[in-house]
Chains A and B, each alone.
Chain A
Amino acid sequence: MKPAPFEYVAPESLEEATSLLGEHGEVGKILAGGQSLGPLLNMRLASPEVLIDINRLEELSYIRQRDGHLEIGALARQRTVERSPAIPRRWPLISDAMPYVGHMTLRNRGTVCGSIAHADPAAELPAVATALDAELRVLGPEGERTVPAADFFLSYMTTNLEPEELLAEVRFPPPQPRTGHAWFEIARRHGDYALVGVAAVLTLRDDGACDAARLVYTGVAPVPFDAREAAELLVGEQPSEDSFAEVAEHAAKASEPGTDVHASAGYRRHLLGLLTRRALGKALERARGDEDGA
């Protein structure tokens, strides 16, 4: 398993990187963590002519809070984000999901933006970005644009990115007060892609009724499956096990999981229902314990 020949360039600045992308984008590929791209190259499922290695762009390795938003640059490693002390308090969904992203040795190298740009529908971070309404900052030869996560994922490993564009940053908005997050997933082995994963985000009103709810799933559609109709059943209701069960059933019916060697569509649907109930329960518990949105 050796990759096909390619040319390699490691730009020293963001300007150099975007200009190289403008020149070679159509036949090139960005190399960040390389933990998804490396296997594809070795198996020759991908054979770009040029690899543009952005690992020298230290200016993109930031994890910072600005105006209440969490901003993660293209070179911030998953492991660094996982260990970042400020994230679990305000964006617990990110820190809940992160340990499920591959294994420690992969997270040491893999980047948050890389996983989002790779857009594997079974991966955790695209679903997390969707559930938290993240914004994606995209740089290209023409300049910069911002894409909401909900518009970014088009199909299996296909995004809104043009060949000459770079996902430079993912930006998570500040959480609303009285909001609870939860991530649950089931995989055959720890670190493998999950059969089904779910991100639940629940916001409560002062009277304890549900103000807003999001449910986003991995593994059941070509893109993160945003079960808006099911989640909206909760809005205005007092959360209860019964209402969670109803929502879970609705989401399971609306999903279109496939059958493969790992699990049947029916089993995936069963898991989806089960995990939805668990995730909503956990999110509710957290939302009730969260008075200030912190």
Chain B
Amino acid sequence: MERKKTIHVTVNGEEYEREVEVRKTLADFLREDLGLRGTHLGCEHGVCGACTVLFNDSSVRSCIIYAAQADETEILTIEGLAPAAGPLHPIQEAFRDKHGLQCGFCTPGFVLASLDFLVEAREPSEEEIREAISGNLCRCTGYQGIVEAIRAADANWER
């Protein structure tokens, strides 16, 4: 048993080997050790959803998972959703087109939660959309633009 652990983790398709303090959250690891600051930290105790990432393809809150637990897993953060130089992901396009963001702080979490939802959902009702994003807080938009963005992404994303 150790207070440090060496982990092998694939983040956005790239493999990393790093020694981490076992109490370090996955969110802090992504931001501090890998420099991926697109994962935002709001509440740091699993309430606001800003730090949502995909952990082996399912959306999780990276502030209440430890980096040590990510050993031998695949993580997708907002940086990995679309290549920096290429076009945006259809969900990102939809958030832009439908004004699904204002300050943008919560947006990476909303986009990744939406991704997890839309991988399976087809033509979701407004109620289903609102339920899917109920774990993410936005203090700017009043959510209407976000709901419309998810509906537009559902229509435009070929999957």
| Chain A residues with a Cβ under 8 A of chain B | 1-10, 31, 34-35, 38-39, 41-43, 50-51, 53, 55, 79, 99, 102-106, 108-109, 189-191
Instruction: For residue A20, give the distance in angstroms from its CB to the closest CB of chain B.
Output: 9
| In the assembled complex, B69 has its CB within 8 A of some CB on chain A | yes
| B interface residues (Cβ-Cβ under 8 A, vs A) | 1-3, 5, 21-23, 25, 28, 43-47, 49, 52, 55, 58-61, 63-66, 68-69, 71, 113, 116-117, 130-132, 134-135
Complex: chain A residue closest to B60, CB-CB: A109
Q: Give the nearest-CB partner of A79 in chain B.
A: B58
CB distance from A88 to the nearest CB of B (A): 17
CB-CB under 8 A from B130, the residues of chain A are: 190
Main secondary structure of the interface of B (DSSP, over half): mixed
- Nearest-neighbour CB distance to chain A for B73, whole angstroms, equals 10
Q: With the chains together, A99 CA to B132 CA distance in Å?
A: 10
Assess whether B44 is in contact with A42, with CB atoms less than 8 Å apart: yes
B59 near A7 with CB under 8 A, answer: no
Query: Please, how many angstroms separate the alpha-carbon atoms of A4 and B43 in the complex?
Result: 17
Docked pose: A39 CA to B48 CA in angstroms:
12
CB closest chain-A residue, reference B41? A1
A191→B46 contact, CB < 8 A: no
Q: Other than A5-B23, A190-B134, give 19 A-B pairs with Cβ distance below 8 A.
A: A1-B63, A2-B25, A2-B28, A5-B3, A8-B2, A34-B64, A34-B65, A34-B66, A34-B69, A51-B22, A103-B49, A104-B135, A105-B59, A105-B113, A106-B46, A106-B61, A108-B55, A108-B60, A190-B130
Chain B residues whose CB sits within 8 angstroms of the CB of A42 once the complex forms: 25, 44-46, 63-64
Q: Which residues on the B side are within 8 Å of A10 (C-beta)? A: 68-69, 71
Q: Which residues of A contact B63 (CB under 8 A)?
A: 1, 38, 42
Given A106-B135, A108-B59, A191-B134, A7:B2 Cβ within 8 A = yes
